[in-house]
Structure 1
Amino acid sequence: MMEVMFIDAKTKEEKIILDSGTVDYCKKYKVIAVYAAVQFASQLPTAVSQLAEAGIEVITSQPDRTSREFQILGCDTFHPGLRLARDPDAYLYVGDGLFHPRALALAQKDADRFREIIRYDPFAKQHFILDESDVRAILRSYKGNLMAFLAATNIGVIVTTKSGQQQFVPGKELAKRYPEKSVYYFAENTIDFSRLEDFPFIEVWVNTACPRIGYDDATERRIAMVNLNDAMQAKELLSSKNLLTKE
């Protein structure tokens, strides 16, 4: 197998300094969990000090599959993966774009209430707010997909051959968890959604690759798809009071 070396591409900024408007906005919360993309994760001490000086308690962690504290992966949408000792009042994400902070939003689907995500863009030098309304349509569609999964008889499991995302063995547990269903496995290096329509007997697809595949474009796809972790606990998720089942 070919050896692969991963090198962090850090921003040229020596330190991240929050603008006064962002610090003032954060004062509405007592405890804030701070995270960033890998480009900014090592340049946060000054920003953390700014929050502390404003009387805000800062908490963080080193989430699963990351190399340092503060770093998050946009692919990880499961709250336990953050490894936070306790829940914050809100999140502060440092970085540009929506991919990573939206992961923090989707990871809250099991929560009883939504924790606001304050996104500070180091290039724009200002903050933006990501709230429940930004993911409500996705969660509504995903809830429908989970309900369809429970009612379905023929299930297709997508397995990628990509290193680091290949989850065939965990995927085999699905057939054991739901012996009343017929489960078919499809292995591919690149997932082409249009080709899934070549198998019309499959009622719902279960994704075992990057969890964002199960969420992103959920409102646009014509096929029903859920992530493996959620499929394994679909009944529990749908019977609990959480953001996913919220009307």
Structure 2
Amino acid sequence: MEVLHIEARKKFDFDKINWKALDELKLEEVSLAASVQYLDLLKEVKDYLEEKDIKVIVKKGAYHDGQVLGCNPVAFDENAKTLLLLCDGKFHALNNALRLGREISVFNGDRIENVAKEDIDKMKAKIKGKQAKFLSSNKIGLLVSTKLGQESKNFKKVAEKIEAKGKEIYVFSTDNIDVNEFENFNYIEMWVNTACFGIGLDDPRIVNLQDILEFL
């Protein structure tokens, strides 16, 4: 079956963009990236900053130049003085900040938000707690999404590595991961998520695969 993916990009009235918010960052050099919804704003922001003699770095991203995914910080130049992400909210920024170990400023066209060191430290503390629970658990549920773009092609190897640690592994493959269904499998002590990292972001029962790879 053929599948057509259509990008949903946000429409902007560039005359209503709060450009002064960018001035408050007092930038000298910035690595600029955007979620797919905000890619049409990226060029405008780049041009605006460069007119102010600010060095702007836009790298090849997930699919387009400058495009970030929540699980993929490749669009950022981690050596740049400032990292600036164009998107709504902190969802994409938080995981990118965790992976890079860097603070990230977020601009939605109206205001600036920041994923600060305190935010990163809080999330790292949560992850450490989940790692400890994974290590002490015997029965592990491995969450595998069948959605295009989220499926884990190496989940069998992951399952084998977890099993090699003396744990019982149960693989749950589905198109829609519904955490409300977990109560039907109350023998599972800890869930390992191989799909979108957001599924396990704030749920203490779920640890993302990337956070336990060092133990496998």
TM-score interval (norm. to shorter): 0.7 to 0.9
User: Offset at 1:153?
Assistant: 1.9
SS in 1 for 2:12: coil
C-alpha distance in structure 1 between counterparts of 2:71 and 2:50, whole Å: 28
Would the aligned equivalents of 1:10 and 1:38 in 2 still touch at CA under 8 Å? yes
Number of matched residues? Answer: 214
Q: CA offsets per residue over residues 165-195 of structure 1, 9 Å max, x none?
A: 222x411222333402221111222222122
- Report matched runs for 1:1-247 at 5 Å: 1=1, 3-13=2-12, 15=14, 19-27=18-26, 29-64=27-62, 66=63, 68-73=64-69, 76-79=70-73, 82-95=74-87, 97-98=88-89, 101-111=90-100, 113-115=101-103, 117-122=104-109, 125-134=110-119, 136-167=121-152, 169-178=153-162, 179=164, 180-215=166-201, 217-218=202-203, 221=204, 223=205, 225-234=206-215
Mapped partners of 1:174, 1:12: distance in 2:
41
Match of 1:69, SS?
coil
CA RMSD, 1 decimal = 2.7
Q: Is the 8 A contact 1:105 1:132 kept in 2?
A: no
TM-score, normalisation: structure 1: 0.73
Tell me if the contact between 1:154 and 1:201 (Cα under 8 Å) persists in the aligned partners. yes
* Partners of 1:175 and 1:181 within 8 A in 2: no
Q: Which residue in the other structure is 1:245 paired with? A: none
State the distance in 2 between where 1:12 and 1:106 align: 25
Distance 1:192 1:11, change over 3 A: closer
Partners in 2 of 1:127 and 1:86 — Cα distance?
20
Uncovered stretches (5+) of structure 2, i.e. residues with no partner = none
Higher helix share: 2
The percentage of counterpart residues that share the same residue type is: 27
Q: Distance in 2 between the 1:133 and 1:105 partners?
A: 11
Higher relative CO (CA 8 A, sep ≥ 6), structure 1 or 2?
1
| Secondary structure of the corresponding residue to residue 77 of structure 1 | coil
Question: Which blocks of at least 5 consecutive residues in structure 1 are unaligned?
Answer: 236-247
Q: Deviations 1:20-75 (Å, cap 9, x if unpaired)?
A: 53232232x432121223233134333212222333221122322x2x212223xx
Mapped to 2, the partners of 1:12 and 1:103 lie a distance apart of: 19
Change (3 A) 1:102 1:134: farther
Instruction: Answer whether contact 1:165 1:209 (CA < 8 A) is retained.
Output: yes
Q: Could you tell me which amino acid in structure 1 is paired with residue 129 of structure 2?
A: G
Aligned residues of 1:161 and 1:188 also touching (Cα < 8 A):
yes
Indicate conservation of the 8 Å contact 1:177/1:232, yes or no.
no
CA distance in 1, matches of 2:19, 2:210: 41
Indicate conservation of the 8 Å contact 2:67/2:75, yes or no: no
Partner AA of 1:104 in structure 2? A
Q: Distance in 2 between matches of 1:6 and 1:30?
A: 37
Instruction: Provide TM-score, normalisation by structure 2.
Output: 0.82
* Residue 214 of structure 1, CA deviation: 1.8
